[in-house]
Structure formats: C-alpha cells, structure tokens
Structure 1
Amino acid sequence: MSNIFRELLKKVGSGNHTGENLTRAEAAIATKMILLGEATPAQIGAFLIAHRIKRPTGEELAGMLDAYDELGPKLQPINATSPVMVLGIPYDGRTRTAPISPVTALILAAAGQPVVMHGGDRFPTKYGLPLIEVWQGLGVDWTALSLPQTQAVFEQTKIGFIYTRHHFPLTKSIWEYRDQLGKRPPFATMELIWCPYAGDAHLIAGFVHPPTEGMFQAALELRKEKNYTLIKGLEGSCDLPRDRTAIIALSASPDLERLFLSPHDYGFTTKNVPLGTTEELITQIQDVLLGKPGELTQTALWNGGFYLWRSGICSDMRSGIAKTEELLTNGTVAAKLQELSQIVKSASENTLQHI
C-alpha cells in the first residue's frame, strides 16, 4: 500500500465537510502513481470514484495533464504556417449521431491545415464507435504504426493519430478500472484537452455539461494555453450540431469570447444525421468524399466551413463553407484520403517486414 497515495485519497474522499481539492502538484503525483501502478487496486478504484463524486477542479485537471505530459507520447513539431489543430474527442465513442471529424480532418489537411487526433478502441462506459474504426473503414489503419512511423505520416500528410493502446500503454489500467466501476472518472474529462503535440497547437475540445467549460478554461489558463476552442458538440465531441444553435467559446483574455452559430442562418436543415451501422456510415462518408449531395454532406459542409474559418484559412463561415464544397466536389479531399491511406499502408508493410 502507498501511504502517499492514501493521503491524497483521504483529501478527495472525505466528503463535503472535510474533503479538500488537490493542488496541481498533488493531482500530478496521484495521476503518475495510478499510471505507474504505484497505488493498490483498492486505492485506485476508491480514488477514481471519490474524485468523480467530488468533481475535478481546473487546477486538478492541469496537474493530471502535467502527468500526461511527463509520461505520455507526443508528436514532434512539424513545419507549419499555423498552429496544429488538436481535436479532443471522447474516447468512448459515438452511439447516436454520425461522427464527421475524420472528414473534417481530411478537409483541413487538404487545405494545408495540420491536424492531430488521439484515441483508442471501443472503451467503457459507452463502448461507442471510436474514431479508429472509422479510419479503418476508410482504409487508414493507424493501429499498426509505431510513434516514429506516425510522426513520418504526420509530416507527409499533415494528419497524425496517437493510438493510445500502442503509443501510451500506461493508460490501459485506467480503462480496466473504468470498465469495472461503470463510471467515467475525471480522466475522461482531462483527455479532451490533452495535447499530444510538442509544437504550437490550437486545442479543440468538445463538452456536454456547461460546468466542464469552466474547468477547461481554468486548466488551460494555468498551463498557459492561449489558443483553444470549446464546443458544446454532438455527444461531447468537436462536431457542430445541426439540431440546435452551436454554442462555442473562443480563447480570449481574460474572458472567453462567446459565439452562437445557427445552422438555419447558413441554409442548413436543423437535424443531425443518426448513426446506423459502421458499414452504413462508411458508405455515407464515401459519398461525401465523392461530393454527392446528402445529409452527411451537409454536416461536412457545416463543420468544414467552421474549422476552415477558425484555422484562419478562410475569412468567415460562408467562405469556409464555399471552400469546403469546392474541396469536396473537385476531388481534393478524396485525393488526400487516398494519399493518407497509401502512406499508412506502406508504413504498416514496412513494420511487418521487420517482424
């Protein structure tokens, strides 16, 4: 048993009257001890539940991110004219609405904007469709690449994907606890604003519950992250909703700049595309990449327009939407997917040859 960890557990688990928040340094210590298995299973399980009930603070999230920075992987800086966009998306996937972020990443990369994504397989508690399976359905298998190979792909294509199962195996124990506990611990909140890129980054994070936005802001300010966008997105993702006004916060000092975007104002119907089978989704995405009209194409235009504007490639939403339509209809985005698929496949084959 770790006496150090027991004291940290006592702070977060003592209830409303005597419990205390952890300092940033204490949160970093607790996170490292969990990742490295230096606390007992009983201590770790108790801590995760107690911390969930208490709710994390921005300072605690900052400490957890410090630990991830120390122990986790990072893609190294590439030659880029703008900050690399890092998309923070819930690791336990999607169950209700069709994800569009892989298409968004392809649109951005096709326009010259580098993008980093991160995640893993089907994870608890939701066990929804993860990004890794969407990419595999599109012919891009990130799971076979080492971190140096992923770096090379990123440098060539402007798209990178940190696959946590291989690139950050220390997190495996967290998922095992999460499965056994049946609840999302605060790590699930922190992952949304984790930045596995060592250069100048623009963090994009989705959220569901409004208090999360304040925690994000506090954590990022403590870590001196000044370039971020927070979105009340579909199922907590970075995907802009179409069934309601998108509530967005843009980093600004000292306060967030609030932005409200209504799909109706830009000529889009106000409904989200439901998620069917994975095969159906892949077919829908392939139609989008061919420039065919359809509901998911509308979602791609809506999101592509926003992100091309937010990256600085386009001057406003309307020009971003027009640019997205152009990139889809002239085959540029489809060509980017083909390039990415071929380069990842070539890297994977090199791996197999050396086994």
Structure 2
Amino acid sequence: MSNEFRELLKKVGGGQHTKKDLTRNEAAIATHMMLMQEATPAQIGAFLIAHRIKRPTGIELAGMLDTYEKLGVTLQPLPNSDSTVTVFGLPYDGRSRTAPIIPITALLLSAAGVPVLLHGGDTMPTKYGVPLVEIWQGLGLDFTQLSAPQVQSLLEQTGFAFIYTPKHFPLACGLIPYRDQIGKRPPLATLELLWSPYRGKTHIVVGYVHPPTEAMARIALTQRGETHFTFVKGLEGSCDLRLSQTTIIAASQPDSPNGFEYLKLNPHHYNFAAKDIPLESTAQLLSQLEEVLEGKPTPMFQAALWNGGFYLWRCGVCPDMATGIQQAEALLVGGKVKAQRDAIASNMK
C-alpha cells in the first residue's frame, strides 16, 4: 500500500463537508502513481470513483495533464514551426446512437491544409461504442501497427495522424479495467478529451455533454497556457455539430474580455435542418462514409458539409461559415478528400 497515495485519496474521498480539492501538483502525483501502478488496485478504484463523486476541478485536470505530458507519447513540432495542429478530443468509449462525422471532418481539414491529430484506443467502457480506430481501419487506415516515429512522419508528410493509445501510451490503458469495474466514467475520461499529444502550437477541439465540463476545461487549459480552443456541445459528447438542433460552442477569442465567446449554430439558418444520422451498424456507417468520400448527395453528406463548413471557418481556412460550406462541398465533390485518404494510406505502407 502507498501511504502517500492514501493521503491523497483521503482528501478527495471525504464526506460532503470534509472533502478537499487537490492542488495541481497533488493531482499530478496521484495520476503518476495510478499510471505507474504504485498505488494498490483498491486505492486506484477508490480514488477514481471518489474523484468522480467529488467532481474534478480545472486545477486538478491541469495537474493530471502535466503527468500525461510527462509519461505519454508526444509528437514533435512540424518542420514549419508556425503550423498549428488541430487536436480533436473525443470520448474514448465511442458512439452508440448517432453516426460519427468526425472521420470526414478530419480528412477534409487535412485536405485543406490544416494539420489534424486524433487519439484513442479500442472498445472501452462504459459505453462500449464504436471506437475511432475501428472506423479508420474500415476506411483503409490501420493505425494500430505504426510506431511513434512512423506517426510523427505521417503527420509531417500528410498533415494527418492518429495516436493509438494501446501501442503509444500503454500506461494509460492499464487503468481501463477500473472503468468497467466501477461502472462509471472516471475523471480520466475528461482528461482524455483535453490531452494533446503534440508539443507544438495547437488548436484543441473538445466535445462535451454537461455544461460544467466546459468551464472546467477552460480553467485546465488556461492553467497550462493553452489559449486556442473550441469546445463543442456535440452529438454524444463528440465534436460533431448537430443537424437536429442548435449546437452550443465555446470558442477562444483573444479580443473578448473573457478570452472566449459562445456561438450558437442553428442549422435552420443555413438550410441544413434535418434529423441526426442514426448509427445502425458499423458496416452501414462505413458504407455511408465511403459514399460521402465519393461526393454522393446523401443525408450524411449534408452532415459532412455542416460540420466541414464550420471547422474550415473556425480553423481559418474560410472567412465565414457560408464560404466554409461551399469549400467543403468543393473538396468532397472534387475528390480531394478521398484523395487525401488515399495519400495517407500510401504513406502508411
């Protein structure tokens, strides 16, 4: 048993009136001891559920991110030091109700010259949804066998990469069984949304569900000096904009008194109002995504334009949302997004 970890556990595991928040350094130490399995299984499980009940603070998340940066894989800055890499933070336990659009969005952005980095692992509790890596495999991009240097090279050559945590950050995967055993998402799930495995300039895009997460995330990133971010209250906590209703977004804005501003994107204003695409099966999803890459005018194609238009605007490729939508359509119909997928596949061989 670790007596040091026991003291940290006692702080977060107190009752309603005795619980205490950890300092940034204490949170970093606790995360380090869990990742390195220096705490006992009983201590780790107790900490994860107690921390969830207490609710993590932005300061604590900053400390946890400090340890992820120290122990996890980190890609080096691109040769062009002015390049900003857009890092998407998505729930690791995947999607189970709505079809993910993010694979098209990521390919589209990289085809437009915006470097993109994603990360994730295999099927994970508590949702056990379709993980991103499985979708990429179905699209002909298998990131599970690449070494970290190969991922670095892929990012440099194509402007696109995926960090596969079981291979590139196995320490983090050592905590996955605890999620299944406690039956709830621990604060590690929020930590993963904010993690950036890239050392250069970043634009961190985070999907979330509960409003308190957005404020917590802003504090965590600000503590770590990250000032370029986009938080999306998207489908199932993802970065995908909704077709069925207004999507609320918190976007960093240096000229704003608070350093950010809220956007409310209503699909009705751009003639995109429709039902969100249901996730029926992985096979059907892959077929739908391939149709989008072919430029076919399907319902998912509309979702791809809605999302692509926003991110092209937000990433500075286009001056406004309407132009972004037009550019997204041109890239998809013109075959440039599909060509980008094929180029990535060629560079992985």
Separation in 1, partners of 2:275, 2:62: 36
Separation in 2, partners of 1:17, 1:268: 49
Q: How much has 1:153 moved relative to structure 2?
A: 1.1
Match in the other structure for 1:276: 280
Which TM-score applies when normalising by structure 2? 0.97
Give runs of aligned pairs for residues 36-55 of structure 1, distance below 5 A: 36-55=36-55
SS of the aligned residue for 1:76 comes to: coil
Match in the other structure for 1:56: 56
Give, as a single letter, the amino acid of the residue that structure 2 aligns with 1:84: V
SS of the aligned residue for 1:17 comes to: coil
Per-residue deviation, residues 49-108 of structure 1 (Å, max 9, x unmatched): 100000000000000000101100111111345411000000000000000111111100
Separation in 2, partners of 1:179, 1:25: 28
Match in the other structure for 1:296: 300
Separation in 1, partners of 2:169, 2:345: 23
- Of the structure 1 ranges 263-272 and 281-290, higher mean CA displacement relative to structure 2 is found in 263-272
Separation in 2, partners of 1:75, 1:321: 31
Select the residue among 318, 325, 330 that pairs with 1:314: 318
Match in the other structure for 1:349: none
Per-residue deviation, residues 208-265 of structure 1 (Å, max 9, x unmatched): 0001001001111111110000010111011111111010011135523011110111
Match in the other structure for 1:179: 180
Q: How much has 1:16 moved relative to structure 2?
A: 1.1
User: How many residues in Structure 1 have an aligned counterpart in Structure 2?
Assistant: 345
Separation in 1, partners of 2:54, 2:253: 29
Match in the other structure for 1:262: 266
Per-residue deviation, residues 293-328 of structure 1 (Å, max 9, x unmatched): 011000100010011001101000000000000001
Give runs of aligned pairs for residues 1-355 of structure 1, distance below 5 A: 1-80=1-80, 81-252=82-253, 254-255=257-258, 256-344=260-348, 346=349
Give, as a single letter, the amino acid of the residue that structure 2 aligns with 1:19: K
Separation in 1, partners of 2:147, 2:121: 14
Q: How much has 1:155 moved relative to structure 2?
A: 0.9
Q: How much has 1:269 moved relative to structure 2?
A: 2.4
Separation in 2, partners of 1:78, 1:263: 35
Q: Which runs of 5+ in 2 are unaligned?
A: none
- Of the structure 1 ranges 72-81 and 327-336, higher mean CA displacement relative to structure 2 is found in 72-81
Q: How much has 1:270 moved relative to structure 2?
A: 2.8
Separation in 2, partners of 1:334, 1:286: 9
RMSD: 0.9
SS of the aligned residue for 2:303 comes to: helix
Separation in 2, partners of 1:298, 1:342: 28
Separation in 2, partners of 1:79, 1:286: 32
Separation in 2, partners of 1:170, 1:222: 24
Give, as a single letter, the amino acid of the residue that structure 1 aligns with 2:107: L
Give, as a single letter, the amino acid of the residue that structure 2 aligns with 1:240: L
Which TM-score applies when normalising by structure 1? 0.96
Q: How much has 1:164 moved relative to structure 2?
A: 0.3
Separation in 1, partners of 2:125, 2:77: 32
Q: How much has 1:279 moved relative to structure 2?
A: 0.8
SS of the aligned residue for 2:197 comes to: coil
Q: Which runs of 5+ in 1 are unaligned?
A: 347-355
Separation in 2, partners of 1:58, 1:27: 11
Separation in 1, partners of 2:273, 2:231: 23
Give, as a single letter, the amino acid of the residue that structure 2 aligns with 1:33: M
Give, as a single letter, the amino acid of the residue that structure 1 aligns with 2:217: F
- Of the structure 1 ranges 78-87 and 299-308, higher mean CA displacement relative to structure 2 is found in 78-87
Separation in 2, partners of 1:243, 1:303: 13
Separation in 1, partners of 2:185, 2:314: 30
Give, as a single letter, the amino acid of the residue that structure 2 aligns with 1:198: R
Structure 1 consecutive aligned stretches of length 4 or more whose deviation exceeds 2 Å: 79-82
Give, as a single letter, the amino acid of the residue that structure 2 aligns with 1:239: D
**Contact 2:245/2:273 (<8 A) preserved:** no
Q: How much has 1:154 moved relative to structure 2?
A: 1.1
Give, as a single letter, the amino acid of the residue that structure 2 aligns with 1:237: S
Give, as a single letter, the amino acid of the residue that structure 2 aligns with 1:117: L
Q: How much has 1:46 moved relative to structure 2?
A: 0.5
Separation in 1, partners of 2:19, 2:341: 51
Separation in 2, partners of 1:78, 1:221: 23
